[in-house]
Structure 1
Amino acid sequence: MQLQHTLLAGAALSALASFSFAQTAAAPTTTQALPTVTVTAAPFNASEGDQILAPAKVLTGDELSNKLGNSLGDTLSQELGVSASAFGAGASRPIIRGLEGSRVKILQNGMGAADVSTLSNDHAVGVGGPTAQQIEILRGPAALLYGSGAIGGLVNVINDRIPTTLEPQPTGMVELRHGTADKSGTASVSVDGSAGNIGLHLDGSVQDARNYRIPDDRVRDDPSSGSGRLPGSYSGEKDIGVGASLIGTWGHVGASVSQLDKLYGIPTDEGASIDLKQTRYDVDALVNNPFGVFEAFKFKLGYTDYKHTEINGEGEPETDFKNRALESRWELRHREVAGWRGSIGLQTEQSKFSALSAEDGSPGTVPVTKSTSTAAFIVEERDLGPVRLNAGLRVENVKRRPEDGSADRSFNLTSYSVGGLWPFTPGYGLGATFSVAQRAPTTEELYSNGPHEATETFDIGNADFKKETSHNVELSLQKTTGLVRWKVNVFQNQVKDFIYGQLTGNTLDEDGVAGGDFNERVFGQADATIRGTEAEVSYNRHGEGLSLRGFADTSRGSLDDGGGSLPLQPATRVGGDIGFKSGPWRTGASVIHANAQDRLAASETRTPSYTQLDANLSYVQRFNGSDITWFLLARNLTNEDIRLSTSVLKDQVPLPGRNFVVGMRTRF
């Protein structure tokens, strides 16, 4: 750990020193205003650099387009404190500060994704990527607004399918791209318009990627395992959404419907695949100045009908996973009262999950289970002299009711947070947050008892599990103005009754008898601690001319009883970007180095270090009043054999080799 701290401190101090020198040498005669992006998932819609509850990162515009991958995890994998589960090209969830699955909540336009990606790493996130206009990352326990599932953080994908403003004329975006490593093609379109006081929206995308090329042997140091293209790494996706809303000075009310179809391979020896279909209906309403001291009333309603079928290597359906979920959010934001401003709200969710045999409908790994959740929350903020204070409370009840006769469970959860931000001198801020967040065990953690073909595991849960309780302390120091900006975050998260899956080393057949092809994975519960540090410094990040960025992050999760490291922990990373903008031209390069991961859970293997080099070049052309951007992206330029310590399949599934992506996008 001492080496990691030295590495982080050296990187941060060296970058600060060099960038301070660059700022002095450049001596700009004017202060350049950098763009401010609103974080919609934050309690008070604050800007990216003004978060108290949790540090935030927002991807939008060209930055989002340049980082767009085949999955949400791939798109976000190089952000500060974020890694990816990397289960092939089709399924990859973000991992935030070493926490994954149900501890990282995925939202779409502020509402839960309601897929089953938390169940297993081979399950894709039910949110389309190419039409996203903004992706928000909130690290740390953001459970107060969005539920106990956000104990590790949340990701909010914004596609604005329900319009909130009237466009005087049609506006939109069209993008086409082609990748060489996987012979992929992507086309996406988004259009907004209006008819009187009715706002209209349409978006759609098509993705098709074949098996991607890998740099070396499929299985590390095993030439007999094959090379070239990785079998089962193909993916295809179709996503379409339409929405409309009535908009006036009083607010808006609207609805949308979307359909997501996805087919992707599982890059294991079995040659399985997953066919995913999801239909989603959303309602969104805002009423300004509804009554009394309240300045806004917000209401959201979402219904998701999700299904995916796991297909074996012979093309036969094995298991049907289904989840039907209805979620509602009611929120009232009030004006300042006794110096406090904030919101109170109510959130409900009902879902029915099943994983049944495609052949006879019998229960598979997890029984049919109905879940309900009801929560009330309050988040308040006030200025006390120069210090901005924030406090919040969430109380929630979660019920699990399996239909196979297993024990029903009910969990009462209480989460709260207090924090402050002190701008001790103009442009600099010191922040501190203490929070307690509780999480109910998921359906699979409680009731699993059967084989999972795609992961080659026989999962065994425990219906007697207790709720998790996380105590998180975070300190941050940041500079948020000027050409040189930086931030440092230090955190410690102590989790009582942490639930984790661990391979026992035993093998079972599909009936649970010893000697089969499935690796026994037993869910256990013990106290754990996750601690880490993050640092980032940038020079002229979004301005014309030269821009620079350096960053480093490290985290370590371990069991408190001496049981070793938590599974699938991210490696320590150091990286940097350099860019240059001049008129219509944009170019840049980035490098990220990850240390070898030697801190292992039982049955895990060492992950070697790697260095990834990427680059980009674009030209903006003005044509008939619209901007057309022609771009070239180069990923993994050195063709490095990259394996992520956060991937279950790291020993047999490397990331893609050298890849060139060429394309164009236009905004009108």
Structure 2
Amino acid sequence: MKKIHLLLVVLLACFTAPALAANLADFKGKVLDASTKEPLSGATVYISDLKATTTTNANGEFSFSNIPSRGKFLVEVRYVGYKTASQQVDLAAGAQIVFALEASVIESAEVVITGTPYSANNKTNSLAVVSISREKLAQAAGTNIVDAIAKVPGVSQVTTGGAISKPSIRGLGYNRVLTIVDGAREEAQQWGDEHGVEVDQFSAARIEVLKGPASLLYGSDALGGVINIIDDLVPAAGDFNGNFTTNYNTNNGLTASSLMLQGNSDGLVYRGRVSYKNAYGFGYKDHTVPNSGFNETNVSGMIGLNKTWGYAHLNLSRFNTNIGLVEEGPDDNGDYLDDDGNVISNSEAKKRKLNLPYQNINHYRAALNSNILLGGGQLKTTLAFQRNVRKEFQESATEPGLYLNLNSYTYDVKYSFANNGVWEPTIGVQGMHQTNANNGDEFLIPDYTSDNIGAFAYLKRNFAKGAINAGIRYDHKNIDGRDLVDADGKQVFTAFNNKFSNVSGSIGFAFEIAKNLNLKGNAGSGFRAPNIAELGANGRHEGTFRYEVGNSNLKQETSLQFDLGLEYNAEKVTLGLNAYSNKIYNYIYPGNFNNETINFQEADGSTTVLPLYRYVQTNATLMGGEASIDFHLVKALHFENTFAYVKGTNNATKAPLPFIPAASLNNELRFEPQIKGLSDSYIKIGLTNVFKQDRFDSFETETNGYTLIDAGIGTSVKVKKGKINLWITGQNLGDKLYFNHLSRYKPAGIYNPGRNLSFGISVPLL
């Protein structure tokens, strides 16, 4: 593996040298109103593949400097009140380009970069992708980054209070959903129930959610989909700016603030961000859940070059959090008791100091991203190192019990050949070397070393009204679990060596079958190797109320999914329909069978009886669909509706699969008045309808349906450096008592959070 890393570095150096000879170019253009031909000042122009951005001046003109003089790139233009426009541009042509934007109450972001090697207009993308902007993320008032996207149709979350949310896409979660941060796959013990996505939610300029198998372009762990967290594009040349954002939540006293500064000095680009969050225990009705608070500190920085040969950016970050672990639910009276049996008052539960048990997590990330223009094509590379240090303090605040140290080296190299806008061929290789060590005196998973490598070829053919694509991929993974005998001579883990390999592929199409009406389809196979917990777990999983036992004889998961979608985008109505069928062979899940229990000896000598969960396999089928329809019959009034449903079936027993989210229907009425001196003003009210989940496995219980009332108000004030954004968001305004089916606190009788008001402000700096 080290030889592969060295070879990649040498190849990158060889490719970079000739690329530096590219000529300087100034790409210019103009943005106009399509009907009046008046120039549009302040429109934002992006070239995502070059990480370049600029804005139009008073005459609607824009220009880019320090960009290549040749090559074809997708240029995207956005302006409030107008439909987003994008166009493939040949920089070698040298002609000034004119974008004529159409006025629209729907400002759809058509460009996506997830799922295809080149940035592509969503109309030519066969995969189901949803993009969520920074403004939408802020207005969602989520306590973490996954919580902020949980209303996207097809997306659910496995929650552990307000601090921890794990994404689930179309009923698939954990290691079946891949999270991309700074262009690299996140590696942070995703197998754990209480291991959330470890990234600063303020750093996301937008999030793209790819729904469906994405193993072709991303490899193992993208069986269910991808969540791509995309940072800001760099500012225009000569610009230096910043932003300060802060918000407060009433339910758990969450204070969350972030300061960012960035600049571009003749192609030398840089950014720095510091964020801090602190919350006490969340509450419902008249109760506050003790020790469910958390605090989080994030520091990140980026430095790089944007030049005529492309770009190279180095991202460094440290994510640090302390999270309280709740071990017991309320008693029969609904009260929470301390170790002596005394009732814990709400005032005591609202103290911000965490008690035992709690976990401390440090996630360090370094990622070098580059796009070098070579031979008329693009060589995109991401080389990353991550260290995840996870400590769980059970009996002592100074000596951790469970102490895991995970080091991951990943690489992703893609070359997209020169194209004329018709054929877009790409080849790539990806891989990872990983080591994990136990440094504590409690054990759940063994020490292990893992290596995997994958190679793929992808081809896209563009037409006047759409595109088709196809690809093939090969993956190989090797994982070595270590033997462990504890101090008492007990065999905790038995050594194993497992190898997994797979060939996967996909084919898809996207065509405009009528004006504003697009049909999309995709057939793809996926692949996932079992994770370390599934293969080798043997211990109490802290905070999950259970003891887990793995199975080193597990086979790899493979899948075959068919996805069909229809999209209609008119001036005042948008419609989206998606249906899918996903058959998964050797589906892995943990189950508590025949009410099996185990006596677990605590550090103080006492014994606790825990339910025993074993990892097993079966063939499974997941079928479902999503629908969305937005009405904008009056310019200032929006009525947005989404629906999602998934049905999971164990093919061997015909019983329901466990951990499947309930069907949901979301309705939102949004009024956007024009107020003198203000912009982007809105008032919204919404209903979240979650249906009863009466399809559940034998060790689960039925979950009743519920309806939550949400509301919000916000506006922007224009200032010299941009806009000051202000918003208030209300969640569960009826203070409804409810359980989400995927809440990990449900078995303990702990309700989901009650009423919450979130107050936020974002201020531009410099």
Scaled by the length of structure 2, what TM-score is found? 0.77
Which piece of structure 1 moves more, 390-399 or 305-314? 305-314
The 2-side partners of 1:460 and 1:496 are apart by 21
> Is the 8 Å Cα contact of residues 550 and 575 (structure 1) preserved in structure 2?
yes
> Is the 8 Å Cα contact of residues 131 and 189 (structure 1) preserved in structure 2?
no
The 1-side partners of 2:476 and 2:624 are apart by 31
The 2-side partners of 1:385 and 1:177 are apart by 46
Match of 2:528 among 423, 439, 452: 439
| Offset of residue 68 of structure 1 | 4.1
Cross-structure match for 1:407 = 496
Matched, 1:177 2:268: no
Which piece of structure 1 moves more, 37-46 or 655-664? 37-46
Q: Which runs of 5+ in 2 are unaligned?
A: 1-101, 330-355, 484-493
Return closer, same or farther for 1:138/1:565 CA change in 2, 3 Å cut-off. Answer: same
| Offset of residue 124 of structure 1 | 2.3
The 1-side partners of 2:499 and 2:543 are apart by 31
Matched, 1:549 2:640: yes
Matched, 1:242 2:301: yes
Matched, 1:197 2:267: yes
| Count of aligned residue pairs for this structure pair | 618
Instruction: Kindly provide the amino acid, as one letter, of the partner of residue 197 in structure 2.
Output: V
Instruction: Kindly provide the amino acid, as one letter, of the partner of residue 540 in structure 2.
Output: P
- What's the Cα RMSD here? 2.4
* SS of match in other structure, 1:414: strand
Matched, 1:603 2:603: no
| Offset of residue 277 of structure 1 | 0.7
> Is the 8 Å Cα contact of residues 350 and 373 (structure 1) preserved in structure 2?
yes
Cross-structure match for 2:210 = 138
Matched, 1:265 2:324: yes
> Is the 8 Å Cα contact of residues 378 and 418 (structure 2) preserved in structure 1?
no
Q: Deviations over 1:553-600 (max 9, x none)?
A: 110111001251111111011111111212332211221101111111
* SS of match in other structure, 2:216: helix
Cross-structure match for 1:574 = 665
Return closer, same or farther for 1:355/1:501 CA change in 2, 3 Å cut-off. Answer: farther
> Is the 8 Å Cα contact of residues 124 and 467 (structure 2) preserved in structure 1?
no
> Is the 8 Å Cα contact of residues 637 and 658 (structure 1) preserved in structure 2?
yes
Cross-structure match for 2:413 = 330
Matched, 1:349 2:422: no
> Is the 8 Å Cα contact of residues 295 and 335 (structure 1) preserved in structure 2?
yes
The 2-side partners of 1:580 and 1:436 are apart by 43
Instruction: Kindly provide the amino acid, as one letter, of the partner of residue 419 in structure 1.
Output: G
> Is the 8 Å Cα contact of residues 234 and 264 (structure 2) preserved in structure 1?
no
The 2-side partners of 1:208 and 1:37 are apart by 36
Matched, 1:628 2:710: no
| Offset of residue 511 of structure 1 | 6.8
Q: Deviations over 1:447-493 (max 9, x none)?
A: 11222222122111111111111010111111134221111111010
Return closer, same or farther for 1:436/1:319 CA change in 2, 3 Å cut-off. Answer: same
* SS of match in other structure, 1:603: coil
Return closer, same or farther for 1:33/1:608 CA change in 2, 3 Å cut-off. Answer: closer
Q: Which runs of 5+ in 1 are unaligned?
A: 1-28, 216-226
Q: Deviations over 1:322-354 (max 9, x none)?
A: 211011111111133895213211111111123
| Offset of residue 104 of structure 1 | 0.7
> Is the 8 Å Cα contact of residues 164 and 245 (structure 1) preserved in structure 2?
no
Matched, 1:251 2:324: no
The 2-side partners of 1:617 and 1:164 are apart by 30
Larger radius of gyration: 2
The 2-side partners of 1:31 and 1:324 are apart by 48
> Is the 8 Å Cα contact of residues 576 and 591 (structure 1) preserved in structure 2?
yes
Cross-structure match for 2:87 = none
| Offset of residue 610 of structure 1 | 1.0
Cross-structure match for 2:596 = 506
| Offset of residue 630 of structure 1 | 1.8
Cross-structure match for 1:69 = 142
Cross-structure match for 2:623 = 531
Q: How does 1:557-596 map to 2 (within 5 A)?
A: 557-562=648-653, 564-583=655-674, 584=678, 585-596=681-692
Return closer, same or farther for 1:623/1:544 CA change in 2, 3 Å cut-off. Answer: farther
Match of 2:734 among 638, 652, 661: 638
Match of 1:104 among 177, 180, 183: 177
The 2-side partners of 1:562 and 1:148 are apart by 27
Cross-structure match for 1:376 = 455
Q: How does 1:414-429 map to 2 (within 5 A)?
A: 414-429=503-518
Return closer, same or farther for 1:432/1:195 CA change in 2, 3 Å cut-off. Answer: closer
Relative contact order (C-alpha < 8 Å, sep 6+): which is higher?
1
Instruction: Kindly provide the amino acid, as one letter, of the partner of residue 352 in structure 1.
Output: T
Which piece of structure 1 moves more, 54-63 or 35-44? 35-44
* SS of match in other structure, 1:366: coil
The 1-side partners of 2:730 and 2:295 are apart by 22
Matched, 1:90 2:156: no
Return closer, same or farther for 1:339/1:621 CA change in 2, 3 Å cut-off. Answer: closer
Return closer, same or farther for 1:403/1:615 CA change in 2, 3 Å cut-off. Answer: same
| Offset of residue 32 of structure 1 | 5.0
The 2-side partners of 1:30 and 1:113 are apart by 39
* SS of match in other structure, 1:607: coil
Cross-structure match for 2:613 = 521
Return closer, same or farther for 1:183/1:448 CA change in 2, 3 Å cut-off. Answer: same
Return closer, same or farther for 1:506/1:471 CA change in 2, 3 Å cut-off. Answer: same
The 1-side partners of 2:732 and 2:614 are apart by 36
The 2-side partners of 1:641 and 1:472 are apart by 37
> Is the 8 Å Cα contact of residues 73 and 85 (structure 1) preserved in structure 2?
no
| Offset of residue 314 of structure 1 | 5.5
Percent sequence identity is: 22
Matched, 1:128 2:220: no
The 2-side partners of 1:511 and 1:412 are apart by 39
> Is the 8 Å Cα contact of residues 88 and 266 (structure 1) preserved in structure 2?
no
Q: Deviations over 1:147-184 (max 9, x none)?
A: 22010011111224xx6564422123211111111111
> Is the 8 Å Cα contact of residues 167 and 192 (structure 1) preserved in structure 2?
no
| Offset of residue 516 of structure 1 | 4.2
Instruction: Kindly provide the amino acid, as one letter, of the partner of residue 528 in structure 2.
Output: R
The 1-side partners of 2:701 and 2:557 are apart by 28
Return closer, same or farther for 1:31/1:265 CA change in 2, 3 Å cut-off. Answer: closer
Return closer, same or farther for 1:182/1:75 CA change in 2, 3 Å cut-off. Answer: same
> Is the 8 Å Cα contact of residues 165 and 247 (structure 1) preserved in structure 2?
no
The 1-side partners of 2:199 and 2:152 are apart by 19
> Is the 8 Å Cα contact of residues 166 and 199 (structure 1) preserved in structure 2?
no
* SS of match in other structure, 1:549: strand
The 2-side partners of 1:494 and 1:373 are apart by 24
Cross-structure match for 1:14 = none
The 2-side partners of 1:45 and 1:579 are apart by 34
Return closer, same or farther for 1:476/1:386 CA change in 2, 3 Å cut-off. Answer: same
The 2-side partners of 1:501 and 1:54 are apart by 30
> Is the 8 Å Cα contact of residues 549 and 576 (structure 1) preserved in structure 2?
yes
Instruction: Kindly provide the amino acid, as one letter, of the partner of residue 508 in structure 1.
Output: I
Instruction: Kindly provide the amino acid, as one letter, of the partner of residue 309 in structure 1.
Output: K
| Offset of residue 655 of structure 1 | 1.8
Return closer, same or farther for 1:30/1:252 CA change in 2, 3 Å cut-off. Answer: closer
Q: Deviations over 1:306-328 (max 9, x none)?
A: 11111126645210122110111
The 1-side partners of 2:306 and 2:587 are apart by 46
* SS of match in other structure, 2:147: helix
> Is the 8 Å Cα contact of residues 252 and 279 (structure 2) preserved in structure 1?
yes
Cross-structure match for 1:22 = none
